[in-house]
Every structure is written in C-alpha cells, then in structure tokens.
Amino acid sequence: MRLIWLLLGTASLGLGGLGVVLPLLPATPLVILAAFCFAKSSPVLHDRLIRSQTVGKAIRDWRRNRAISRSGKAASLFGMALSLVPTFALGAGAGEIAVQALVLGGAAAFILACNTA
C-alpha cells in the first residue's frame, strides 16, 4: 500500500508542477494532495515537501487553518479567468462556455470561502 501512496504522491506532485504553467491544473491542491500521500508512504519526502521554500508554507497554512494566502487566491482566480480566454477565442458554443464557467465559478467560490493566510 505504501507503494501506491508513493506513486499517487509523485503523480500529484508532478501534476502540481504542471499546474504552475497550465491554468486548468490547480497546482496548490495537487501539492497538498502530494503531501498527504507522502505522509502515508515516505516520511522523508513528506518532510522535504513541508520544508520546501516553494510550497511548504501553502501546505502548512492549509493544514493549520484551512487557509490560502491572499496571493494564492489572486493567482488562482486570475488563472481561472484567463482559462476562459481560449474558450472564447476558439469559438466554443454557449453550452460549453456555460459549463466551464459553472465549474470555474464553483472552484472560485470555494477558494473565496477559505480562510486567508
């Protein structure tokens, strides 16, 4: 079972890394998921992720207070809004735009409802 958690953690961390440059992948939740998986599989990787200067603070804030930093919220909301641009540019239909806007709106509502670190 440890191997499965390790593989899930590695995959989550990899997708989180991609999420930094791809607006449709949520980087922070994937990194938090990776920390959860590593806690169950590899204390060394878990501790390394928690101490990371890049993502450690976000993980610690989420664990302590279920909080997202103000800059994290702003970046997330900006990325979501930006992800609508290609949808419009590619001439997607009203239904597709509505579904995407509904999903992004739900995610945005969750982010805004979280405590601010």
pTM for the full model?
Answer: 0.69
60-107 pLDDT, tens digit each: 888 888 888 898 888 888 888 888 888 889 988 999 999 988 988 998
Region 25-35: mean pLDDT is 85
In angstroms, the CA 117 to CA 6 distance is 29
User: Cα dist. 9→2, 32, 71, 100 in Å?
Assistant: 10, 9, 25, 27
Per-residue confidence band for 23, with pLDDT thresholds at 50, 70 and 90: low
